[in-house]
Amino acid sequence: MTRIDFYVLKDGSRGNRFGLCCRLVERIYRGTPDGTKPPPRVLIHCPEVQQARHLDRLLWSYRDDSFLPHGLVGETDPTLTPILISINDQPETEDQVLINLSSSAEAPPFFSRFERLCEPLDHAPEIRQAGRKRYLYYRDCGYPLAHHQVG
């Protein structure tokens, strides 16, 4: 069963869900602290093309000392790229970590094929409201949920 983690920016913290997504991807990509297990593959669901391109640029530049090998689905070789940004559920072979950047109140219909789903939320009222609706949906379906306040 998919493990679902909500990451919510604390009140008063700066940034948005795209910056929070970069932080999550970096943490996930680093893998286990002792290096005994390779980092999982990550699919970032970002259904709005303009936002997907924004995230692509942000992942290249958000920290000078960070390298996160990523690319947009359809513009990179998915077999060589461990972090993929997709506007839909492609490629269908991905099943480890899904980060949902959709602003929809509906859960991505393909989320249950993943081991883990991350839901980054920022201060925008419409993003928080959509996140609350997804949270209730996941809870009512019996998925294990965790909530993390991020500074």
Cα separation, 128 vs 105, whole angstroms: 10
pLDDT at 32: 61
**Which residues fall within 8 angstroms of residue 52, CB to CB, at 6 or more apart?**
46, 72, 85, 86, 87
**Which residues fall within 8 angstroms of residue 27, CB to CB, at 6 or more apart?**
none
Q: Residue ranges of the domains in the chain?
A: 3-29+40-109+123-150
pTM (two decimals): 0.95
pLDDT at 33: 64
Architecture of domain 3-29+40-109+123-150 in this structure: 3-Layer(aba) Sandwich (3.40)
Cα separation, 40 vs 44, whole angstroms: 13
pLDDT tens for the chain, 151 residues long, are: 999 999 999 988 889 999 999 999 999 998 766 667 788 999 999 999 999 999 999 999 878 887 889 999 999 999 999 999 999 989 999 999 999 999 999 999 999 999 999 999 999 999 999 999 999 999 999 999 999 999 8
DSSP 8-class letter at 21: H
